Amino acid sequence: MANKSVFASLAGRLLPRATETNAAGAKAYAYGAEHKLTQLAMTGTFGGGFYQDAQAEVSAMVEAAMAVEPLFLAQAAVHVREKGHMKDTPALLLAVLSARDPALFAQVFGRVVTSGKVLRGFVQILRSGQTGRKSLGTRPKAMVQHWLNSATDAQLLAASVGNDPSLADVIRMVHPKPETAERAAFYAWLIGKPADTAALPALVQDLLAFRAGASDIVPDVPFQMLADLPLTPAQWAEVARKGSWQMLRQGLNMLHRKGAFGLPGVVDHVAGVLRDPARIRGAKALPYQLLATLKALSPEVDAKLRAALHDAMELSVANVPVLSGSLAVCPDVSGSMSSPVTGYRPGATTAVRCIDVAGLVAAAVLRKNPKARVLPFEVGVREARLEARDTILTNAAKLAALGGGGTNCAAPLAALNAAGLAPDLVIFVSDNQSWMDANRGGQATAMMSEWTRLKTRNRAAKLVCIDLQPYGTTQAAERRDVLNIGGFSDQVFEQIADFVAGRMGPDHWVGQIRAVDL
Protein backbone atom coordinates (compact mmCIF):
# COMPACT_ATOMS: atom_id res chain seq x y z
CA MET A 1 0.00 0.00 0.00
CA ALA A 2 1.25 3.54 -0.83
CA ASN A 3 2.81 5.54 2.01
CA LYS A 4 0.01 7.91 3.10
CA SER A 5 2.31 10.39 4.82
CA VAL A 6 4.45 10.81 1.69
CA PHE A 7 1.47 11.51 -0.52
CA ALA A 8 -0.11 13.78 2.07
CA SER A 9 3.09 15.83 2.09
CA LEU A 10 3.09 15.96 -1.70
CA ALA A 11 -0.50 17.26 -1.71
CA GLY A 12 0.51 19.94 0.76
CA ARG A 13 3.35 21.10 -1.48
CA LEU A 14 0.95 21.38 -4.42
CA LEU A 15 -1.35 23.77 -2.58
CA PRO A 16 -1.27 27.36 -3.88
CA ARG A 17 1.20 29.52 -1.96
CA ALA A 18 -0.35 32.34 0.08
CA THR A 19 1.98 35.25 -0.68
CA GLU A 20 -0.15 38.11 0.65
CA THR A 21 -0.72 39.32 4.22
CA ASN A 22 -4.27 40.30 5.13
CA ALA A 23 -5.36 43.27 7.24
CA ALA A 24 -5.18 41.10 10.38
CA GLY A 25 -1.55 40.14 9.66
CA ALA A 26 -2.09 36.54 8.57
CA LYS A 27 -1.54 34.58 5.36
CA ALA A 28 -3.88 35.37 2.48
CA TYR A 29 -4.18 35.24 -1.29
CA ALA A 30 -4.01 38.33 -3.45
CA TYR A 31 -6.63 38.92 -6.11
CA GLY A 32 -5.63 39.72 -9.66
CA ALA A 33 -5.78 43.43 -10.50
CA GLU A 34 -9.23 43.27 -12.15
CA HIS A 35 -10.77 41.12 -9.43
CA LYS A 36 -9.33 43.31 -6.69
CA LEU A 37 -10.81 46.44 -8.25
CA THR A 38 -14.27 44.94 -8.52
CA GLN A 39 -14.17 43.43 -5.04
CA LEU A 40 -13.21 46.78 -3.52
CA ALA A 41 -15.85 48.64 -5.54
CA MET A 42 -18.65 46.19 -4.69
CA THR A 43 -17.97 46.37 -0.94
CA GLY A 44 -16.51 49.84 -0.40
CA THR A 45 -18.50 52.64 1.21
CA PHE A 46 -15.70 55.05 2.21
CA GLY A 47 -16.82 54.79 5.80
CA GLY A 48 -13.91 52.88 7.29
CA GLY A 49 -14.12 49.38 8.72
CA PHE A 50 -12.77 47.24 11.55
CA TYR A 51 -9.25 46.99 10.10
CA GLN A 52 -8.81 50.19 8.05
CA ASP A 53 -9.94 53.79 7.94
CA ALA A 54 -11.82 55.55 5.15
CA GLN A 55 -8.72 57.18 3.63
CA ALA A 56 -6.93 53.82 3.30
CA GLU A 57 -10.01 52.45 1.55
CA VAL A 58 -10.15 55.33 -0.95
CA SER A 59 -6.42 55.11 -1.67
CA ALA A 60 -6.61 51.36 -2.27
CA MET A 61 -9.50 51.79 -4.70
CA VAL A 62 -7.80 54.56 -6.68
CA GLU A 63 -4.63 52.46 -6.90
CA ALA A 64 -6.65 49.46 -8.10
CA ALA A 65 -8.46 51.62 -10.68
CA MET A 66 -5.13 52.79 -12.07
CA ALA A 67 -3.84 49.21 -12.38
CA VAL A 68 -6.42 47.94 -14.91
CA GLU A 69 -7.08 48.77 -18.54
CA PRO A 70 -9.50 51.69 -19.12
CA LEU A 71 -12.01 49.39 -20.86
CA PHE A 72 -12.28 47.14 -17.82
CA LEU A 73 -12.47 50.20 -15.56
CA ALA A 74 -15.47 51.43 -17.56
CA GLN A 75 -17.10 47.98 -17.48
CA ALA A 76 -16.55 47.72 -13.73
CA ALA A 77 -18.12 51.13 -13.09
CA VAL A 78 -21.25 50.11 -15.01
CA HIS A 79 -21.44 46.67 -13.36
CA VAL A 80 -21.02 48.03 -9.84
CA ARG A 81 -23.74 50.66 -10.41
CA GLU A 82 -26.25 48.50 -12.30
CA LYS A 83 -25.77 45.14 -10.58
CA GLY A 84 -24.30 46.08 -7.22
CA HIS A 85 -26.57 49.14 -6.78
CA MET A 86 -23.60 51.03 -5.31
CA LYS A 87 -23.40 54.83 -5.56
CA ASP A 88 -20.11 56.23 -4.27
CA THR A 89 -17.67 53.63 -5.60
CA PRO A 90 -18.85 53.70 -9.24
CA ALA A 91 -18.67 57.50 -9.04
CA LEU A 92 -15.03 57.18 -7.97
CA LEU A 93 -14.26 54.74 -10.80
CA LEU A 94 -15.90 57.18 -13.22
CA ALA A 95 -13.77 60.02 -11.85
CA VAL A 96 -10.56 58.02 -12.45
CA LEU A 97 -11.78 57.06 -15.93
CA SER A 98 -12.38 60.73 -16.82
CA ALA A 99 -8.61 61.29 -16.77
CA ARG A 100 -7.54 57.93 -18.19
CA ASP A 101 -9.89 57.70 -21.18
CA PRO A 102 -12.20 60.71 -21.76
CA ALA A 103 -14.03 59.00 -24.64
CA LEU A 104 -14.90 55.91 -22.58
CA PHE A 105 -15.81 58.18 -19.68
CA ALA A 106 -18.35 60.02 -21.83
CA GLN A 107 -19.68 56.72 -23.16
CA VAL A 108 -20.57 55.29 -19.74
CA PHE A 109 -21.35 58.50 -17.82
CA GLY A 110 -25.11 58.18 -18.28
CA ARG A 111 -25.18 54.56 -17.09
CA VAL A 112 -23.30 55.38 -13.89
CA VAL A 113 -24.78 58.78 -13.06
CA THR A 114 -28.43 57.83 -12.84
CA SER A 115 -29.51 60.20 -10.07
CA GLY A 116 -28.71 63.58 -8.61
CA LYS A 117 -27.14 61.91 -5.58
CA VAL A 118 -24.62 60.06 -7.76
CA LEU A 119 -24.00 63.27 -9.72
CA ARG A 120 -23.20 65.21 -6.56
CA GLY A 121 -20.97 62.38 -5.36
CA PHE A 122 -19.07 62.37 -8.65
CA VAL A 123 -18.46 66.12 -8.47
CA GLN A 124 -17.38 65.87 -4.83
CA ILE A 125 -14.88 63.10 -5.64
CA LEU A 126 -13.39 64.97 -8.60
CA ARG A 127 -12.92 68.18 -6.64
CA SER A 128 -11.40 66.37 -3.63
CA GLY A 129 -8.15 65.73 -5.50
CA GLN A 130 -8.23 62.03 -4.58
CA THR A 131 -8.19 60.97 -8.23
CA GLY A 132 -5.46 63.37 -9.29
CA ARG A 133 -7.38 66.53 -10.17
CA LYS A 134 -9.23 69.24 -8.24
CA SER A 135 -11.27 70.77 -11.05
CA LEU A 136 -13.86 69.13 -13.27
CA GLY A 137 -12.09 69.67 -16.60
CA THR A 138 -13.67 70.20 -20.00
CA ARG A 139 -15.21 66.75 -20.65
CA PRO A 140 -16.55 66.13 -17.12
CA LYS A 141 -17.98 69.66 -17.02
CA ALA A 142 -19.75 69.06 -20.33
CA MET A 143 -21.21 65.75 -19.10
CA VAL A 144 -22.49 67.33 -15.89
CA GLN A 145 -24.04 70.16 -17.90
CA HIS A 146 -25.73 67.62 -20.17
CA TRP A 147 -27.13 65.70 -17.20
CA LEU A 148 -28.56 68.87 -15.68
CA ASN A 149 -30.15 70.00 -18.94
CA SER A 150 -31.55 66.53 -19.68
CA ALA A 151 -32.94 65.84 -16.21
CA THR A 152 -36.66 66.13 -15.58
CA ASP A 153 -38.01 68.76 -13.22
CA ALA A 154 -38.73 66.02 -10.66
CA GLN A 155 -35.15 64.68 -10.93
CA LEU A 156 -33.68 68.12 -10.35
CA LEU A 157 -35.97 68.78 -7.41
CA ALA A 158 -34.98 65.46 -5.86
CA ALA A 159 -31.31 66.24 -6.52
CA SER A 160 -31.66 69.50 -4.60
CA VAL A 161 -31.98 67.51 -1.34
CA GLY A 162 -28.52 67.11 0.16
CA ASN A 163 -25.26 69.00 0.57
CA ASP A 164 -21.46 68.76 0.21
CA PRO A 165 -21.87 69.70 -2.57
CA SER A 166 -25.45 70.83 -2.95
CA LEU A 167 -27.09 70.88 -6.35
CA ALA A 168 -26.83 74.67 -6.21
CA ASP A 169 -23.06 74.32 -5.78
CA VAL A 170 -22.89 72.04 -8.83
CA ILE A 171 -24.92 74.45 -10.96
CA ARG A 172 -22.62 77.33 -9.97
CA MET A 173 -19.57 75.24 -10.87
CA VAL A 174 -20.60 74.16 -14.36
CA HIS A 175 -22.91 77.01 -15.48
CA PRO A 176 -25.35 74.94 -17.58
CA LYS A 177 -26.92 76.84 -20.46
CA PRO A 178 -30.70 76.44 -20.17
CA GLU A 179 -32.58 75.78 -23.40
CA THR A 180 -35.93 77.17 -22.21
CA ALA A 181 -37.14 80.07 -20.11
CA GLU A 182 -38.66 77.61 -17.68
CA ARG A 183 -35.33 75.84 -17.08
CA ALA A 184 -33.55 79.21 -16.77
CA ALA A 185 -35.99 80.25 -14.05
CA PHE A 186 -35.60 76.85 -12.36
CA TYR A 187 -31.79 77.15 -12.24
CA ALA A 188 -32.08 80.67 -10.82
CA TRP A 189 -34.47 79.48 -8.12
CA LEU A 190 -32.25 76.49 -7.23
CA ILE A 191 -29.21 78.71 -6.63
CA GLY A 192 -31.15 81.32 -4.67
CA LYS A 193 -31.33 84.05 -7.30
CA PRO A 194 -34.50 86.02 -8.14
CA ALA A 195 -36.71 84.06 -10.51
CA ASP A 196 -39.94 84.75 -12.35
CA THR A 197 -42.40 82.61 -10.42
CA ALA A 198 -44.73 82.35 -13.40
CA ALA A 199 -41.90 80.85 -15.48
CA LEU A 200 -41.03 78.14 -12.94
CA PRO A 201 -42.09 74.52 -13.53
CA ALA A 202 -45.57 73.70 -12.27
CA LEU A 203 -44.12 71.38 -9.61
CA VAL A 204 -42.07 74.21 -8.10
CA GLN A 205 -45.01 76.62 -8.30
CA ASP A 206 -47.13 74.09 -6.42
CA LEU A 207 -44.45 73.81 -3.71
CA LEU A 208 -44.14 77.58 -3.34
CA ALA A 209 -47.92 78.04 -3.19
CA PHE A 210 -48.20 75.34 -0.51
CA ARG A 211 -45.36 76.84 1.54
CA ALA A 212 -47.00 80.26 1.33
CA GLY A 213 -50.37 78.89 2.48
CA ALA A 214 -51.98 79.76 -0.84
CA SER A 215 -52.83 76.11 -1.52
CA ASP A 216 -54.01 73.20 0.58
CA ILE A 217 -52.87 70.60 -1.97
CA VAL A 218 -49.71 68.79 -0.86
CA PRO A 219 -47.22 68.92 -3.77
CA ASP A 220 -45.65 65.71 -5.02
CA VAL A 221 -42.10 66.55 -3.92
CA PRO A 222 -39.44 64.76 -1.82
CA PHE A 223 -40.74 64.47 1.73
CA GLN A 224 -37.57 66.14 3.08
CA MET A 225 -38.89 69.40 1.58
CA LEU A 226 -42.02 69.11 3.71
CA ALA A 227 -40.58 67.85 7.00
CA ASP A 228 -40.26 71.31 8.57
CA LEU A 229 -43.72 72.49 7.49
CA PRO A 230 -46.76 72.41 9.84
CA LEU A 231 -48.74 69.81 7.90
CA THR A 232 -51.86 68.26 9.37
CA PRO A 233 -52.17 64.47 9.81
CA ALA A 234 -54.50 64.43 6.80
CA GLN A 235 -51.87 66.16 4.68
CA TRP A 236 -49.17 63.74 5.85
CA ALA A 237 -51.54 60.93 4.92
CA GLU A 238 -51.65 62.41 1.42
CA VAL A 239 -47.83 62.39 1.34
CA ALA A 240 -47.90 58.72 2.32
CA ARG A 241 -50.38 57.87 -0.44
CA LYS A 242 -48.13 59.52 -3.04
CA GLY A 243 -44.86 58.19 -1.67
CA SER A 244 -42.42 55.96 -3.53
CA TRP A 245 -41.35 52.60 -2.14
CA GLN A 246 -38.01 53.96 -0.86
CA MET A 247 -39.62 57.08 0.60
CA LEU A 248 -42.13 55.00 2.56
CA ARG A 249 -39.46 52.56 3.77
CA GLN A 250 -37.34 55.45 5.02
CA GLY A 251 -40.19 57.53 6.42
CA LEU A 252 -42.27 55.06 8.44
CA ASN A 253 -41.29 56.44 11.86
CA MET A 254 -41.76 60.04 10.69
CA LEU A 255 -45.17 59.33 9.16
CA HIS A 256 -46.20 57.64 12.42
CA ARG A 257 -45.08 60.66 14.47
CA LYS A 258 -46.94 63.03 12.13
CA GLY A 259 -50.18 61.08 12.59
CA ALA A 260 -50.52 59.90 8.98
CA PHE A 261 -51.34 56.33 9.97
CA GLY A 262 -54.30 57.46 12.03
CA LEU A 263 -56.25 58.23 8.86
CA PRO A 264 -58.49 55.47 7.45
CA GLY A 265 -56.87 53.26 4.82
CA VAL A 266 -53.37 54.74 5.01
CA VAL A 267 -51.77 51.81 6.84
CA ASP A 268 -53.25 49.31 4.39
CA HIS A 269 -52.12 51.41 1.40
CA VAL A 270 -48.54 51.75 2.66
CA ALA A 271 -48.36 48.07 3.60
CA GLY A 272 -49.53 47.19 0.09
CA VAL A 273 -46.82 49.34 -1.49
CA LEU A 274 -44.09 47.90 0.73
CA ARG A 275 -44.93 44.29 -0.15
CA ASP A 276 -45.65 44.92 -3.86
CA PRO A 277 -43.16 42.75 -5.87
CA ALA A 278 -43.07 45.20 -8.80
CA ARG A 279 -42.39 48.18 -6.53
CA ILE A 280 -39.66 46.25 -4.71
CA ARG A 281 -37.94 45.36 -7.99
CA GLY A 282 -38.32 48.91 -9.30
CA ALA A 283 -36.72 50.33 -6.14
CA LYS A 284 -33.78 47.91 -6.45
CA ALA A 285 -34.34 47.12 -2.82
CA LEU A 286 -31.36 45.69 -0.99
CA PRO A 287 -32.10 43.12 1.71
CA TYR A 288 -29.88 44.92 4.21
CA GLN A 289 -31.92 48.13 3.72
CA LEU A 290 -35.01 46.30 4.92
CA LEU A 291 -33.05 44.91 7.83
CA ALA A 292 -31.96 48.46 8.73
CA THR A 293 -35.56 49.67 8.56
CA LEU A 294 -36.82 46.90 10.81
CA LYS A 295 -34.03 47.48 13.33
CA ALA A 296 -34.89 51.20 13.48
CA LEU A 297 -38.68 50.82 13.37
CA SER A 298 -40.48 52.21 16.41
CA PRO A 299 -42.43 49.56 18.34
CA GLU A 300 -45.39 51.93 18.21
CA VAL A 301 -45.68 51.70 14.42
CA ASP A 302 -48.67 49.61 13.30
CA ALA A 303 -47.90 45.85 13.28
CA LYS A 304 -49.28 45.59 9.73
CA LEU A 305 -46.35 47.67 8.50
CA ARG A 306 -43.82 45.51 10.32
CA ALA A 307 -45.42 42.43 8.72
CA ALA A 308 -45.25 44.12 5.30
CA LEU A 309 -41.50 44.70 5.77
CA HIS A 310 -41.06 41.01 6.60
CA ASP A 311 -42.93 40.14 3.39
CA ALA A 312 -40.77 42.58 1.45
CA MET A 313 -37.65 40.91 2.84
CA GLU A 314 -38.83 37.52 1.62
CA LEU A 315 -39.47 38.99 -1.83
CA SER A 316 -36.15 40.86 -1.96
CA VAL A 317 -34.28 37.54 -1.83
CA ALA A 318 -36.65 35.68 -4.11
CA ASN A 319 -33.76 34.92 -6.48
CA VAL A 320 -31.94 32.75 -3.96
CA PRO A 321 -31.41 29.54 -5.96
CA VAL A 322 -32.82 26.16 -5.02
CA LEU A 323 -29.67 24.07 -5.25
CA SER A 324 -29.44 20.37 -5.93
CA GLY A 325 -27.14 18.24 -3.84
CA SER A 326 -25.83 18.87 -0.34
CA LEU A 327 -25.11 22.37 0.89
CA ALA A 328 -23.39 24.08 3.81
CA VAL A 329 -23.56 27.80 4.51
CA CYS A 330 -21.04 29.37 6.89
CA PRO A 331 -21.68 32.87 8.29
CA ASP A 332 -18.76 34.54 10.06
CA VAL A 333 -19.86 35.63 13.56
CA SER A 334 -16.43 36.75 14.83
CA GLY A 335 -15.69 40.03 16.59
CA SER A 336 -14.63 41.95 13.48
CA MET A 337 -18.06 41.28 11.98
CA SER A 338 -19.57 43.63 14.56
CA SER A 339 -18.45 46.64 12.48
CA PRO A 340 -21.13 48.57 10.52
CA VAL A 341 -21.60 47.04 7.08
CA THR A 342 -21.34 50.45 5.39
CA GLY A 343 -18.52 51.65 7.61
CA TYR A 344 -18.23 54.24 10.34
CA ARG A 345 -19.66 57.61 9.30
CA PRO A 346 -19.87 60.56 11.75
CA GLY A 347 -23.53 61.07 12.56
CA ALA A 348 -24.70 58.52 9.98
CA THR A 349 -23.35 55.11 11.01
CA THR A 350 -25.81 52.36 10.14
CA ALA A 351 -27.14 50.05 12.84
CA VAL A 352 -26.68 47.09 10.47
CA ARG A 353 -23.46 45.21 11.12
CA CYS A 354 -21.53 42.80 8.93
CA ILE A 355 -22.71 39.99 11.21
CA ASP A 356 -26.33 40.96 10.54
CA VAL A 357 -25.77 40.71 6.78
CA ALA A 358 -23.93 37.38 7.14
CA GLY A 359 -26.85 36.02 9.11
CA LEU A 360 -29.27 37.46 6.56
CA VAL A 361 -27.55 35.70 3.64
CA ALA A 362 -27.36 32.41 5.54
CA ALA A 363 -31.03 32.60 6.54
CA ALA A 364 -32.08 33.42 2.96
CA VAL A 365 -30.16 30.42 1.60
CA LEU A 366 -31.70 28.20 4.29
CA ARG A 367 -35.21 29.35 3.38
CA LYS A 368 -34.85 28.05 -0.21
CA ASN A 369 -32.67 25.08 0.79
CA PRO A 370 -34.11 23.77 4.07
CA LYS A 371 -31.72 20.80 4.25
CA ALA A 372 -28.66 23.05 4.20
CA ARG A 373 -26.24 22.81 7.12
CA VAL A 374 -25.63 26.17 8.79
CA LEU A 375 -22.19 26.41 10.40
CA PRO A 376 -21.67 29.83 12.05
CA PHE A 377 -18.03 30.26 13.00
CA GLU A 378 -15.48 32.36 14.83
CA VAL A 379 -12.57 30.53 16.53
CA GLY A 380 -14.62 27.37 16.09
CA VAL A 381 -18.05 26.42 14.83
CA ARG A 382 -20.94 27.63 16.99
CA GLU A 383 -24.18 25.77 17.45
CA ALA A 384 -27.28 27.38 15.96
CA ARG A 385 -30.79 25.98 16.19
CA LEU A 386 -32.62 27.31 13.16
CA GLU A 387 -35.94 26.43 11.59
CA ALA A 388 -36.05 26.88 7.83
CA ARG A 389 -39.72 27.92 8.02
CA ASP A 390 -39.04 30.83 10.40
CA THR A 391 -38.86 34.26 8.81
CA ILE A 392 -35.55 35.21 7.29
CA LEU A 393 -35.15 38.01 9.79
CA THR A 394 -35.85 35.70 12.76
CA ASN A 395 -33.08 33.34 11.71
CA ALA A 396 -30.74 36.21 10.86
CA ALA A 397 -31.21 37.60 14.37
CA LYS A 398 -30.43 34.21 15.94
CA LEU A 399 -27.17 34.01 14.01
CA ALA A 400 -26.19 37.59 14.78
CA ALA A 401 -26.70 36.93 18.50
CA LEU A 402 -23.73 34.53 18.41
CA GLY A 403 -21.23 37.33 17.75
CA GLY A 404 -17.72 37.49 19.23
CA GLY A 405 -14.34 35.77 19.16
CA GLY A 406 -11.44 35.52 16.74
CA THR A 407 -11.69 34.72 13.04
CA ASN A 408 -10.88 31.23 11.79
CA CYS A 409 -12.20 30.71 8.27
CA ALA A 410 -10.87 27.14 8.29
CA ALA A 411 -13.09 26.11 11.20
CA PRO A 412 -16.27 25.10 9.29
CA LEU A 413 -14.29 23.11 6.73
CA ALA A 414 -12.31 21.42 9.49
CA ALA A 415 -15.59 20.49 11.20
CA LEU A 416 -16.95 19.02 7.96
CA ASN A 417 -13.73 17.05 7.47
CA ALA A 418 -13.80 15.76 11.04
CA ALA A 419 -17.35 14.52 10.45
CA GLY A 420 -16.42 12.91 7.12
CA LEU A 421 -18.79 15.23 5.22
CA ALA A 422 -18.16 16.77 1.80
CA PRO A 423 -21.07 18.93 0.63
CA ASP A 424 -21.51 19.68 -3.05
CA LEU A 425 -21.48 23.41 -2.29
CA VAL A 426 -20.09 25.41 0.62
CA ILE A 427 -20.95 29.11 0.93
CA PHE A 428 -18.96 31.45 3.20
CA VAL A 429 -20.10 34.94 4.20
CA SER A 430 -17.26 36.80 5.90
CA ASP A 431 -14.90 39.78 5.91
CA ASN A 432 -12.16 37.26 4.93
CA GLN A 433 -9.76 38.46 7.63
CA SER A 434 -8.89 35.09 9.15
CA TRP A 435 -5.99 35.34 11.61
CA MET A 436 -6.20 32.40 14.03
CA ASP A 437 -3.77 30.43 11.85
CA ALA A 438 -1.20 33.24 11.58
CA ASN A 439 1.60 31.14 13.10
CA ARG A 440 0.88 27.81 11.41
CA GLY A 441 3.38 26.27 9.01
CA GLY A 442 2.90 25.48 5.34
CA GLN A 443 2.61 27.61 2.27
CA ALA A 444 -1.19 27.72 2.03
CA THR A 445 -3.88 29.21 4.25
CA ALA A 446 -5.52 26.82 6.68
CA MET A 447 -8.81 27.32 4.84
CA MET A 448 -7.29 26.21 1.54
CA SER A 449 -5.66 23.21 3.21
CA GLU A 450 -9.00 22.10 4.69
CA TRP A 451 -10.75 22.68 1.36
CA THR A 452 -8.21 20.45 -0.38
CA ARG A 453 -8.88 17.72 2.20
CA LEU A 454 -12.62 18.01 1.61
CA LYS A 455 -12.13 17.76 -2.15
CA THR A 456 -10.53 14.34 -1.79
CA ARG A 457 -13.97 13.04 -0.78
CA ASN A 458 -15.98 15.03 -3.33
CA ARG A 459 -14.05 16.12 -6.42
CA ALA A 460 -17.10 18.00 -7.75
CA ALA A 461 -17.48 20.16 -4.64
CA LYS A 462 -17.54 23.96 -5.12
CA LEU A 463 -16.74 26.78 -2.73
CA VAL A 464 -18.29 30.27 -2.82
CA CYS A 465 -16.82 33.05 -0.65
CA ILE A 466 -18.99 36.16 -0.30
CA ASP A 467 -16.86 39.04 0.97
CA LEU A 468 -18.56 41.91 2.79
CA GLN A 469 -15.65 44.31 3.34
CA PRO A 470 -13.15 46.11 1.07
CA TYR A 471 -9.88 44.61 2.31
CA GLY A 472 -8.75 43.13 -1.01
CA THR A 473 -7.55 39.64 -0.02
CA THR A 474 -9.08 36.18 0.25
CA GLN A 475 -8.49 32.98 2.21
CA ALA A 476 -9.39 30.74 -0.76
CA ALA A 477 -7.33 31.03 -3.95
CA GLU A 478 -9.15 31.62 -7.23
CA ARG A 479 -9.56 28.48 -9.32
CA ARG A 480 -12.26 26.56 -11.20
CA ASP A 481 -13.93 25.23 -8.03
CA VAL A 482 -13.66 28.47 -6.00
CA LEU A 483 -15.71 31.63 -6.54
CA ASN A 484 -14.83 34.83 -4.69
CA ILE A 485 -17.45 37.57 -4.99
CA GLY A 486 -17.97 40.81 -3.13
CA GLY A 487 -20.97 42.80 -1.97
CA PHE A 488 -24.30 42.36 -0.26
CA SER A 489 -26.83 43.00 -3.02
CA ASP A 490 -29.20 40.30 -4.25
CA GLN A 491 -26.90 39.96 -7.28
CA VAL A 492 -24.74 37.48 -5.36
CA PHE A 493 -27.53 34.90 -5.43
CA GLU A 494 -27.71 35.01 -9.22
CA GLN A 495 -23.93 34.64 -9.40
CA ILE A 496 -24.01 31.61 -7.11
CA ALA A 497 -26.64 29.98 -9.31
CA ASP A 498 -24.59 30.66 -12.45
CA PHE A 499 -21.42 29.29 -10.84
CA VAL A 500 -23.07 26.10 -9.60
CA ALA A 501 -24.73 25.51 -12.99
CA GLY A 502 -21.45 26.01 -14.84
CA ARG A 503 -22.63 29.19 -16.58
CA MET A 504 -19.67 31.22 -15.32
CA GLY A 505 -16.37 30.75 -17.12
CA PRO A 506 -12.96 29.88 -15.69
CA ASP A 507 -12.35 33.46 -14.60
CA HIS A 508 -15.69 33.46 -12.80
CA TRP A 509 -16.71 36.90 -11.54
CA VAL A 510 -14.26 38.97 -13.58
CA GLY A 511 -15.55 37.24 -16.70
CA GLN A 512 -19.03 38.62 -16.03
CA ILE A 513 -17.67 42.14 -15.85
CA ARG A 514 -15.56 41.77 -18.98
CA ALA A 515 -18.78 40.75 -20.75
CA VAL A 516 -20.53 44.06 -19.92
CA ASP A 517 -21.63 45.56 -23.22
CA LEU A 518 -20.79 49.25 -23.42
User: Rounded to the nearest 5 degrees, what angle is found at the Cα of 415, between the Cα atoms of 409 and 420?
Assistant: 135
For helices 245-257 and 233-242, the axis angle rounded to 10 degrees is 170
Q: pLDDT tier at 13 (50, 70, 90 boundaries)?
A: very low
pLDDT at 138 over 70: yes
- 305-326, pLDDT tens digit by residue? 999 999 998 888 877 888 889 9
Say what the pLDDT of residue 11 is. Answer: 46
| Spatial separation of the C-alpha atoms in residues 313 and 317, rounded to whole Å | 7
Q: What was the pLDDT predicted at 295?
A: 87
pLDDT of residue 85: 86
- pLDDT by residue (tens digit) across 40-61? 888 876 766 665 677 888 888 8
pTM of the model: 0.87
Are 291 and 309 a contacting pair, CB within 8 Å? no
Its CATH architecture, for the domain 323-514, is 3-Layer(aba) Sandwich (3.40)
Residues 154-204: pLDDT tens digits?
Answer: 999 999 988 889 999 999 999 999 999 999 999 999 999 999 999 999 999
Give the model's pLDDT for residue 421: 96
What is d(CA 134, CA 126) in angstroms, rounded to the nearest whole number? 6
The answer to whether the beta carbons of residues 17 and 306 sit under 8 Å apart is no
* Strand arrangement, sheet containing 473-474: 20-21, 27-30, 473-474
Boundaries of every domain in the chain: 69-221, 229-316, 323-514
What pLDDT band is residue 404 in, cutting at 50, 70 and 90?
confident
By percentage, how much of the chain surpasses pLDDT 70?
93
Burial degree of 434 (CB within 10 A; 0-12, 13-18, 19+): buried
Distance from C-alpha of 419 to C-alpha of 376, rounded to nearest angstrom: 16
| pLDDT tens digits, 81-104 | 998 888 899 999 999 999 999 999
Is the sign of the CA dihedral 439, 444, 450, 451 positive or negative?
positive
Segment 342-396, tens digit of pLDDT: 777 766 677 788 898 899 889 989 988 999 999 999 999 999 888 888 888 888 8
- DSSP bridge pairs for 260: none
Length of the chain, in residues? 518
Closest Cα to residue 229, out of 258, 201, 193?
258
Rounded Cα gap, residues 421 and 412, in angstroms: 11
| Angle of helix 303-316 versus helix 392-400 axis, rounded to 10 | 90
* 464 close to 499: Cβ distance less than 8 angstroms: yes
State the chain's mean pLDDT as an integer.
88
pLDDT at 1: 43
